[in-house]
Amino acid sequence: MNANRRRFLTTTSMALAAAAAGRSALFARVSQSAGAGQAGPPAAPPTAFAALRGTIGTFVGQGGTIGYHIGKDGVVVVDAQMAPTAQIALQGIRERAGGRMIDVLVNTHHHGDHTEGNAVFRPAVKRILAHVNVPSLQRAAAAQQAAARPGAPPPEPVVADATFVNTWEEDVGGERLALKYYGAAHTSGDVVVTFAKTDVVHMGDLVFNRRHPYIDRPAGASISNWIKVLEAVAGEHGSDTQYIFGHAGERFPVTGARADLLYQRDYLTALLEHVRRELTAGKPKDEIVKTAAALRGFPDHGPLVPRVLTAAYEELAG
């Protein structure tokens, strides 16, 4: 085993130890889903690497889809998932990159299924980059989780050490990396990540492909502005642009085209219109936010669920 390999295994093992508290709860959930009462360690979560276009690939595991660029002289990773699969992603990306350090790890927003793996990636990353709102949102979410689970305090979250307000651009490994903040949408810290030369865009959780989204109103989400964000992104890129999505329904891919962004826009528009009709009809909140039939025109999502109905209700009712 060469020295680089030993250092890689040592540093990632230390990072995994730092994230142990979060992983133990996660593994418990995995074990329960595999079958109550089964002995032995939980089954390893399914993971998959896939080439997308040119130097860009994706990794699917526990959490939001990871995107990565491996160029001749530079490596970029977008999002870090949960800690268990972050280790698998990091090892696979380092192997594909010949053991090189990762120049930039981008966090598209603060949610744990995109940032818990920061602790795993940290020893192998030169910079963690995010919108200026993300570190405080991440710390606030960690504090809320700690308050809900009394006992030994969890490790401090690993947050971005470089932030920006509106836009950020830099050449990394032969690729032009461009980040843009369009305002509140899924949260108040979502950024769109563009690999300009390859014409690939990572949307983070701005797109849940044919799946009900999480609308984080305590973190500043705005459905009405989310609709505008999707229209703006679709308008600023060409018809051949490929997109990476944070999440997708079971039968749908985590990559797609402009039409998928506009489908997400139309879903959010229909969601607001549905709840607006219910409000106009004078229905009380508890009736509006109950699990309902599928949203008209969007059968692939399945029945409407309370979390999206509640978010829409709160936005419209003020």
Return the closest-CA partner of residue 49 out of 106, 14, 90: 90
As a whole number, mean pLDDT of residues 291-300 equals 93
The Cα 2–Cα 6 span in angstroms is 6
As a whole number, mean pLDDT of residues 309-315 equals 98
Q: What is the pTM of this model?
A: 0.87
Q: What is the pLDDT of residues 44-83, one digit of tens each?
A: 679 999 999 999 999 999 999 999 999 999 999 999 999 9
Q: C-alpha angle 36/39/42, rounded to 5°?
A: 80
The Cα 239–Cα 256 span in angstroms is 11
Q: What is the pLDDT of residues 200-233, one digit of tens each?
A: 999 999 999 999 999 999 999 999 999 999 999 9
Three-state secondary-structure class, residue 44: coil
Three-state secondary-structure class, residue 302: coil
Q: Which tokens in the block code for residue 216?
A: 């984080």
Task: Round the average pLDDT of the chain to a whole number and report it.
Answer: 89
Return the closest-CA partner of residue 206 out of 78, 26, 93: 78
Return the closest-CA partner of residue 229 out of 213, 252, 253: 213
- Domains along the sequence of the chain with CATH: 3-33+44-317 (3.60.15.10)
Distances in Å between the Cα of 131 and the Cα atoms of 135, 214, 249 are: 8, 19, 27
Q: Which tokens in the block code for residue 286?
A: 């508890």
As a whole number, mean pLDDT of residues 11-23 equals 38
Return the closest-CA partner of residue 191 out of 125, 251, 270, 137: 137
Q: C-alpha angle 184/210/250, rounded to 5°?
A: 125
C-beta of residue 291 within 8 angstroms of C-beta of residue 304 = yes
> Which amino acid appears at position 70 of this protein?
I
What confidence tier does 255 reach under pLDDT thresholds 50, 70, 90?
Answer: very high
Q: Are strands 175-181 and 167-172 parallel, antiparallel or unpaired?
A: antiparallel
CA 61 to chain centre: 11
